[in-house]
Amino acid sequence: MSDFAIETAGLTKRFGKQLAVDGVDLAVPEGSVFGFLGPNGSGKTTTIRMLLGLASATAGDIRVLGQAMPRRLANVLPGVGALIEGPGFYPFLSGAANLRRLDAADGFAPAASRAARVDHALERVGLTHAAGKKVRAYSLGMKQRLGIANALLAPRELIVLDEPTNGLDPQGTREVRHLIRSLASEGTTVFVSSHLLAEIEQMCTHAAVMSGGRLVAQGTLDELRLAGQTRARVLVPAADASRATRILTDLGLPPEPEPAPATPGTQPGGAGLGATSGTRGSANGPLPTPEGHFALPGEGAGGAGVGESVLSAVLPESVAREDVVAALVAGGVRVRGFAVQQASLEDLFVALTGEGFDVVQ
Amino acid sequence: MSSDTPPARIAPAAAGVEAAAPDTHGGAPDLLGRRSRRALGWGFFASELSVLFRRRRTWAMLAALAAIPILIAVAIRVTDGGDGRGPAFLDRITQNGLFVGMTALVVSIPLFLPLTVGVVAGDSIAGEANTGTLRYLLVSPVGRIRLLVVKYAAAAVFCLTATVTVSLAGILIGIALFPVGPVTLLSGDSVSVGESLLRSLLIAVYVTLGLVGLSAIGLFISTLTDAPVGAMAATVVISIVSQVLGQLSQTEWLHPWLFSYYWLDFADLLRQPIEWSSFGGNALLQLGYVAVFGALAYGRFASKDVLS
Amino acid sequence: MARKWQRWVPAIAAPAVVAVVVAGGVFAASASADLPEKSPHDVLELAAQSDVQSFSGTVEQSSDLGLPDLSSVPGGVSTGSSGGAGGGSGDSSSAAENDASLASALELLTTDHSARVYADGSDKLRVQILDQLAERDAIRHGDDVWLYDSSDDTAVHTTLPDPSTLGEGEAPAPVPTDIATPGQLAQKFLDAVDPSTEVTLGADTSVAGRSAYDLVLTPRGSETLVGSVSIAVDAETGLPLQVEVLARGASSPAFSIGFTDLSLDAPSGDLFDFTAPEGTTVTEKPFPTRDELQGDGSTDAGGTHPEPVVTGEGWGSIVSLAVGADASELTSSPVMAQLLTPVDGGQALQTALLSVLLTDDGRVLVGAVPVDALEAAAAAAPAVPAPPATAAPAPAE
């Protein structure tokens, strides 16, 4: 039996000439809280629709909860709760009536306990007080909660939440985060899509990044952070530069020219993203170094001063940063500045997906 | 990815979730129990009907339909008869109030009934797509075929409700405003009030049957679009086109194939003895329409990407 | 994806199945029966010996006489518009009444109808013409004859004279229930079979689910418009099931009447017990004399009764009737104005089977012949009424 709640291979969706999703190989481990990141228009929602059998894939295979989709749809979907591209409810029905209808649509849900199930779900999202109110009168955040309540109607193995915190106030966002954690602690796999990195960073164990219909990174958050390349930079007098280069190379930190602003896939070196459990190799290229350089002490805004050199190298995990300085000093290098940059996920995200408001085609 | 499929494991796995976290659901463990087999869908059908009949729009349409016989009856009462012109049965109302329902049916069959049926059938899938509920129903999961069948059945129930509304409102207002007695049939024979009520019920069934073909067309159109208003309008327009074609002698060869062909033949149930051939012909014709457009709706909906 | 197109399979299959069922139904209906060999003479005998008097069935009549659509004429054909609700037909002027009855007669002949016929013995007959949202009934029960029209809720009651009072050689006068069934119409044709008619048998056929011989009457002469008359004779009982009249050179019938459904069981007796419903305007009409009947439709009751003159023989017979000033009254009616076209010496109506000429000197000539023949006949015979002739009536009348 597969250990993945969601697995796709070469998942592709074409709308006419436009390739909305292009050869995506997702691997969502069971029990994980999986963040699905990407800017608007990067193919996240289309992928989710294919996972849930709403849209058919142009090519590729999908397995959800170990079973092929959409062939085993009727068996798979009862174990999946979903919030897809915002809530959708009958405005002329109350929140509870909406949930009762969706519960009735699930052929595996016994009618006798329907009311109790609905109450329970409403309680979990804090909507009990508004249960009898028409959805027309709900605020966006309340509708969002109701959508989440729908995903929680039955015991699920997998919960798919597309932009769950949309329209929620900070308090609501916190509650959702808390809810997701508690779901995860019950053993439910949670697949959360978002265009907000911070959200993912705070609640997910794993993440994948979509850009322009392609999956550009995937792994645990730690793996992703590592892939962000911790770099060491050393400021030395120009005269010591060659000696410092030799010492660093011996340590396993061959200095490279300062990388240019990110262009994915063009850079040599750097660790590839760790593939989850090693079973599926994510064919994601080496990651670029974040664009914004950190300043070294003594370094001016324009870079190294006259007669000084900056050496920059990827700092492997195996090498402690204090050992680097110690080795340089022991080798007679006059270290004028030393800094280690831990790349943030945000840097990584921006590097992967580009910046600005342009919707990726 | 291999295509062999492991056995269904949803139910046991769901139970496993429960077992893993007994405390979170502990308050009411039974309410999260799952049926081992999928229900037949009567619950969902009941839910569909309740959604349909909890809409204000549905009630507005039924009220408008009920207003037709009431307007007719009141107008005749106030003007004391008339000059014999007007729809069939109109001049019989003053003698027998039970004819109000029949007159109202004659008046509503060409436009008002198809209009309301077009609204309900055209809205069936497109309306769900428009409110965004379609995707949630499908992942519930309701199953696309089951959704189509339930939507269609609900539209058929509406056809019956609409027809009975016209008929019943007519009978009631007729009883209130006019004398009631044995009903003279088209053949000149009279039948008792009881039998005439029975025949009114038969007529309601007949007219309903006549509308189920249109409902199937509406259902199909509704799967083509996410804009319910467009689907409704298209369905109503098709019902009008069918009737116009039915009036043109140039398209006479086509007439028996139009779903509106038998609409006004409900009067065959007011003959003595009852002429059943139009009832049978109507039923067969509508069955053909339901089969063809039901299959088209299935083909379209089952292969459709739900992107709404 | 392979699965995607499979979902359209029902959408392709359903119309195909419907088409197959429809085609299958047509096939089953037209499957010709395998009947024992018979000569045309045998079939004539079979038809003559038919003694089916009790049956119920549905009769379809269709006409393609080449007449314009009359439904748009004011006071014309559309049912339900003739006669006022208030006073009934008695208050209308005689001209309007004539026009209405003419329109109604034309309507019966020229448009398609479906009727139910119930017969039990020779003196119980009920014919129901099934109009949309209306019905016209003719009920004969013994000596009582009722005509009921539901569209204006009127009834006409007539009592037939005792047949024993009829003079020698005098046939019972026709009543409206007389040509309502294919059998009655077929009998008229069969009675008229004479040497001018060639009688042959067509392929065995099936009418109303019953196997039948197809008796084809073909006029030998070329003067008539009638190409052939085909009569389906029930193989079992000899009852004529269908009559189709083809115009010369036509491939589809100009006029046809036949059962679509037939049961030889005696219908329920209470179908023949008719009393005018409450609120119905009832007109008592005395039984018309034979003379009145012959003048009916072309003149007012109460005037002189000119005798019709028949010239020609068999299928080419022409009936001529002097109606005097009434002719102009006829031509002025909106229904007739729509139908008639001016010709030399009068106005003419040409249909696929029958022609009518209204001469300017006040005669009406009718025959199953082209208008030219009527014109020639009108020119040949002066306007003075000739002595009555006793030739057979034109078969197509």
Name the band, by pLDDT with cuts 50, 70 and 90, for residue A36.
very high
Domain check: are A190 and A208 in the same one? yes
Q: Quick: pLDDT tens for C379-392.
A: 887 655 444 444 44
Domain holding A326: CATH number?
3.30.70
pLDDT score of A208 = 92
* Complete DSSP assignment for C88-117: -GGGS-HHHHHHHHHHHHHHHHHS-EEEEE
Domain check: are A218 and A233 in the same one? no
Nearest to C134 by CA among C108, C110, C153, C116: C153
Domain check: are A197 and A254 in the same one? no
Task: Among A224, A243, A258, identify where a domain stops.
Answer: A224
Residue A292 lies in a domain: no
Name the band, by pLDDT with cuts 50, 70 and 90, for residue C102.
low
| Strand partners for C155 | C148, C282
User: Would the CB atoms of B84 and C85 count as touching at under 8 Å?
Assistant: yes
Query: What does residue C25 show for φ and ψ, rounded to 5 degrees?
Result: -65, -40
C101 close to B (CB below 8 A) = no
CA distance A290 to chain C (A): 41
pLDDT score of C362 = 79
Mean pLDDT of chain C: 75
Nearest to A21 by CA among A240, A216, A245, A278: A216
B298 close to C (CB below 8 A) = yes
C16 close to B (CB below 8 A) = no
Domain check: are A89 and A214 in the same one? yes
* Complete DSSP assignment for C174-237: P-TTTT-SHHHHHHHHHHT--TTEEEEE---EEETTEEEEEEEEEESSSSSSEEEEEEEEETTT
Nearest to A55 among B8, B33, B305 (CB): B305
Both structure tokens of C131: 């109009």
pLDDT score of C291 = 52
Domain range for A275 is 229-284+304-342
Pairing mode, strands A33-37 and A189-194 = parallel
Domain check: are A280 and A149 in the same one? no
Assess whether pLDDT exceeds 70 at residue C162: no
Sign of CA dihedral C277, C278, C281, C285: positive
Are the C-beta atoms of residues B103 and B69 closer than 8 Å to each other? yes
C7 close to A (CB below 8 A) = no
User: Would the CB atoms of B277 and C85 count as touching at under 8 Å?
Assistant: no
Residue A291 lies in a domain: no
Assess whether pLDDT exceeds 60 at residue B17: no
C274 close to B (CB below 8 A) = yes
Number of domains in chain A: 2
Give chains near A: 3+ CB pairs under 8 A. Answer: B, C
* Complete DSSP assignment for C362-387: SEEEEESS-HHHHHHHHHHS-SSPPP
Pairing mode, strands A80-83 and A158-162 = parallel
Sign of CA dihedral A188, A194, A199, A204: positive
Mapped onto helix, strand or coil, the DSSP state of residue C251 is coil
Residue A295 lies in a domain: no
B180 close to C (CB below 8 A) = no
pLDDT score of A10 = 93
pLDDT score of A154 = 87
Q: Can you tell me the distance from the alpha carbon of B286 to that of B216, in angstroms, rounded to the nearest whole number?
A: 9
Assess whether pLDDT exceeds 50 at residue C90: no
Q: Where are the alpha helices (DSSP H) in chain A?
A: 44-51, 73-76, 95-105, 114-124, 140-151, 170-185, 197-203, 221-227, 241-251, 321-330, 345-353
Q: Can you tell me the mean pLDDT for A324-346? A: 82
Angle at B5 between CA B2 and CA B11, to 5 degrees: 145
Domain check: are A202 and A278 in the same one? no
pLDDT score of A309 = 82
Q: Can you tell me the distance from the alpha carbon of C261 to that of C269, in angstroms, rounded to the nearest whole number?
A: 20
User: Count of A–B CB contacts within 8 Å?
Assistant: 174
Residue A290 lies in a domain: no
- Chain C residues whose CB is inside 8 A of the A56 CB are 1, 4
Closest chain C CA to residue B271: C135
Q: Does domain C291-380 sit in CATH 3.30.310?
A: yes
pLDDT score of B245 = 95
Q: Can you tell me the distance from the alpha carbon of B17 to that of A152, in angstroms, rounded to the nearest whole number?
A: 13
Domain check: are A154 and A169 in the same one? yes
Domain check: are A150 and A121 in the same one? yes
pLDDT score of B233 = 96
Are the C-beta atoms of residues C75 and C335 closer than 8 Å to each other? yes
Domain check: are A182 and A277 in the same one? no
Q: Quick: pLDDT tens for A171-189.
A: 888 888 888 999 999 889 9
pLDDT score of B9 = 35
Are the C-beta atoms of residues B138 and A106 closer than 8 Å to each other? no
Q: Quick: pLDDT tens for A268-305.
A: 333 333 333 333 333 333 333 333 444 555 555 445 56
Name the band, by pLDDT with cuts 50, 70 and 90, for residue A259.
very low
Q: Can you tell me the distance from the alpha carbon of C46 to that of C40, in angstroms, rounded to the nearest whole number?
A: 10
Are the C-beta atoms of residues A25 and A281 closer than 8 Å to each other? no
Nearest to B267 among C17, C133, C153 (CB): C133
Domain holding A196: CATH number?
3.40.50.300
Within B143-227, strands assigned E span 183-184, 190-191
The reply to whether omega before B273 is within 30° of 0 (cis) is yes
Residue A135 lies in a domain: yes
The residue length of chain A stands at 361
Q: Can you tell me the mean pLDDT for C163-183? A: 56
Shared fold status for C40-284 and C291-380: no
Q: Quick: pLDDT tens for A76-95.
A: 898 999 999 888 999 999 99
Both structure tokens of C39: 């000569």
Assess whether pLDDT exceeds 70 at residue A155: yes
pLDDT score of C53 = 85
Assess whether pLDDT exceeds 90 at residue A134: yes
Residue A356 lies in a domain: no
Residue A297 lies in a domain: no
Residue A354 lies in a domain: no
Domain check: are A115 and A18 in the same one? yes
A10 close to C (CB below 8 A) = no
- Of all residues in chain B, the percent with pLDDT exceeding 90 is 67
CA distance B14 to chain A (A): 6
Assess whether pLDDT exceeds 70 at residue A39: yes
User: Would the CB atoms of C86 and B84 count as touching at under 8 Å?
Assistant: yes
Q: Quick: pLDDT tens for C54-89.
A: 999 999 988 888 776 555 444 433 333 333 333 333
ipTM above 0.85, yes or no: no
- Chain C residues whose CB is inside 8 A of the A13 CB are none
Are the C-beta atoms of residues A222 and A290 closer than 8 Å to each other? no
Task: Among A173, A190, A224, identify where a domain stops.
Answer: A224
The residue length of chain C stands at 397
Domain chopping of chain C, boundaries: 40-284, 291-380
Buried-exposed string A288-299: b where 16+ CB fall within 10 A, e elsewhere:
bbbeebeebeeb
Name the band, by pLDDT with cuts 50, 70 and 90, for residue B272.
confident
C26 close to B (CB below 8 A) = no
User: Would the CB atoms of B140 and A102 count as touching at under 8 Å?
Assistant: yes
Q: Which CATH architecture has domain C40-284?
A: Clam (2.50)
Assess whether pLDDT exceeds 70 at residue B125: yes
Domain check: are A133 and A266 in the same one? no
Q: A185 Cβ partners below 8 Å, 6+ apart? A: B21
Assess whether pLDDT exceeds 60 at residue A26: yes
- Chain C residues whose CB is inside 8 A of the A58 CB are 1
Q: Quick: pLDDT tens for C301-354.
A: 444 556 778 887 778 888 888 776 565 666 667 777 777 888 877 888 888 888
CA distance A3 to chain C (A): 27
pLDDT score of C324 = 66
Query: What does residue A14 show for φ and ψ, rounded to 5 degrees?
Result: -120, 125
C1 close to A (CB below 8 A) = yes
Mean pLDDT of chain B: 86
Assess whether pLDDT exceeds 80 at residue C264: yes
Assess whether pLDDT exceeds 50 at residue B30: no
Q: Can you tell me the distance from the alpha carbon of A295 to that of A339, in angstroms, rounded to the nearest whole number?
A: 8
Closest chain A CA to residue B42: A104
Nearest to A248 by CA among A349, A335, A119: A335
> How far lies C101's CA from each of C77, C83, C158, C284, in Å?
10, 10, 17, 17
Q: Can you tell me the mean pLDDT for B153-162? A: 96
- Chain A residues whose CB is inside 8 A of the B146 CB are 107
Domain check: are A171 and A233 in the same one? no
Residue type at C289 in one-letter notation:
T
pLDDT score of A185 = 92
